[in-house]
Chain A
Amino acid sequence: MMEKMFEVQDPVNHDTQTLQVNIGPQHPSTHGVFRMNVVLDGETVVSLKPVMGYLHRNHEQIAENISYTASMPYTDRLDYFNSMSNNFAWALAVEKLANLDVPERAQYIRVIMAELTRLVNHVSVIGFLLNDLGAFFTPVLYAFREREKILDIFEEVSGARMMCNFLRFGGIKRDLPAGTLERIKEVIQNFPKFLDEFETLLTKNEILCMRCQNVGVLPAELAVNASITGPMLRASGVNYDVRKADKYSIYDRFDFKIPLGQTGDVYDRYYCRVLEMRESLKILQQALRDIPVTGEIISKKMAPFVKAPRNFKPPVGEAYGRVEAPKGELGFYVVSDGTPQPWRYHVRAPSLINLTILEDLCIGHKVADAIVILGSIDIVLGEVDH
């Protein structure tokens, strides 16, 4: 299918040589330590081999040797932009395994935190995408200005800016401090103004349109076959969102839409993320309206384990918990053998699976477009290599 769309000229028939270029591991636009082994014919990409593993931190091996609760801070460091979503997925997996219920107020707080995380992630990703396009650092300044406001809320709630470690099995670590909900409301009220400003600068920008439209087109069929998830899949026009498909936690109570793209190019991926932020704001407004004023924050079954987490032994069995993380479907598969440590612990990392499609998207494009396509896939190397 890709050969028909782009005529890849056979370099043998010309008097030219192909050139092999290593992009990375130290490169400003590979989003961390990631290497692309690119073969170029002139400026056109002929083949591209991603080389990973520069940040392999033995996440799964470590998690199989420590208690279930002790894995929670390690999940923060998987995708370090959105630690709350990662905590959410791991908590859901163990709750399924141990058959725990979550109190009402804790459910709402979880959803609020997960959606705030989505705002943080998407706004930063758009900033970095523009960075790759050549608008060096100015959009990132706008993006990080808003990010800091949300990180202030995370710090107030959990004590840490990035590595929150906030969720617990069957609830959350501690209740919200007084006045936090008002501050969250304030941030949400001001966020659409920022988004409008951001869109005025970017969405109809001619340079952005020319560089992004019809670049790195991902057909829907290929996306489904490669099990791409998240905004990348929805930009190709496939209506799949774990929040709607699985309805985990309390997502069935909220009224929100799933923005879909048409062509599946870089521009659609950018615009899908902008629209998703607007939908997240809707969810946040509804959650803040409906949240119970008081209530328990951790289930009664888990209360004895708050002070003694090493005594927590789920029954023998297996479970898979998944959430719609900002990057895609993040899942944790866990097998318990009745001891305090899991027998098997596996992460379905959306960044890693979305990255597998990179070569198909880049072939036939110029090398400058390959950088933009990589930026639009939205990888975080902590999650790719885990």
Chain B
Amino acid sequence: MAFSKNQSEVDEGLKGELAKKGVVVTTINQLYNWGRQSSIWPMQFGLACCAIEMIATACARYDIARFGAELFRPSPRQSDLMIVAGTVTKKMAPQVVRLYNQMAEPKYVITMGACSIAGGPFIDGYNVLRGIDRYIPIDVHLPGCPPRPEALLYGLMELQKKIQSQEIETTEWYQKGMKREYPVPDFGPHGLVPKFNPEVWQPRELDHRKDKYGEPILIGRKTKAPDLDAPLATPPVAQPPKPQTA
């Protein structure tokens, strides 16, 4: 997604001339956003496998400190960015939404990994939420299982672009009556209640999954347990498929 960059109306040549004299001309928006984008404090909050890659990003080789985002805070009150790193299960989803509500404005969310975007490889499980974007708004989606540390850095740079495009006058968190707290779902006996937050997410009208990937493979419920004590009818060797004769 392309963001419109905050442009200064001052002539570039004039800026250069002034810079030689030691005078910097900028807009308050650019200064404000430059400060915010270079000191993003992420929340130290790992859910599953992707958290390890998040730690690896913070360590020496990838060094997220180059982007000013090395200060992982354990408390949601002190952090600007929530990296949802890992599978969000139905038991954990209420806590994730609650943590989002506790964060101070301005707040941003990155979903890291296929699981937190849409359920990932565990999408068929009964206990896995199919995407945390059903309950909270997401700024950057980061696919991969798990994404490499470089991918997380790229996601952070995309977020910085988004921050750079925001203006003080029109930002949400300076408006009156702004509401960025979302209801926390309940973990009921049949999953989460409600199933999604209609303010944030609506189910699609068309299901493209069938068009793209075809019919799901149905195995059918197995009802008869194998009789392990019975004498083996087949020899205990795996049989290769018979070659087809034309």
Contacts and interface: CB of A to CB of B under 8 A. Distances in A.
A140 B222 contact: no
B59 A55 contact: no
Interface residues of A, number: 55
B124 A62 contact: yes
- DSSP class of B's interface residues: helix, strand, loop or mixed? loop
A57 B87 contact: yes
Interface stretch (B20-28, B30-38, B199-207, B234-242): B234-242
A304 B226 contact: no
Interface stretch (A4-12, A219-227, A314-322, A349-357): A314-322
B68 interface: no
A292 interface: no
Contacts of B230: 316
Contacts of A341: 219, 222
Contacts of B228: 316-318, 335
Interface stretch (B48-56, B157-165, B168-176, B189-197): B48-56
A312 interface: yes
Nearest to B95: A25
A239 to B, nearest CB: 32
B53 A162 contact: yes
A311 B61 CA distance: 43
B32 to A, nearest CB: 30
Interface string B205-246: 000000000000001001011111010111111111100000
Contacts of A73: 121
A305 interface: yes
Contact of B121 (A61, A77, A100, A304): A77
Contacts, number: 145
Given A57-B127, A162-B146, A338-B234, 17 more contacts: A26-B95, A33-B47, A53-B89, A57-B48, A62-B125, A144-B56, A148-B56, A148-B59, A161-B53, A162-B49, A163-B145, A311-B241, A315-B232, A316-B230, A316-B232, A316-B234, A338-B226
- DSSP class of A's interface residues: helix, strand, loop or mixed? loop
Residue of A74, A315, A381 most packed against chain B (CB within 10 A): A315
A195 B47 CA distance: 30
B226 A337 contact: yes
A301 B237 contact: yes
Nearest to B63: A141
Contact of A144 (B60, B89, B224): B60
Contacts of B219: 65, 341
Given A61-B125, A65-B124, A316-B234, A56 B89 contact: yes
B49 A382 contact: yes
Interface in B69-103: 74, 76, 86-87, 89, 91-92, 95, 99
Contact of B48 (A58, A80, A137, A314): A80
B108 interface: no
A56 B89 CA distance: 7
A304 B86 CA distance: 36
A301 B125 contact: no
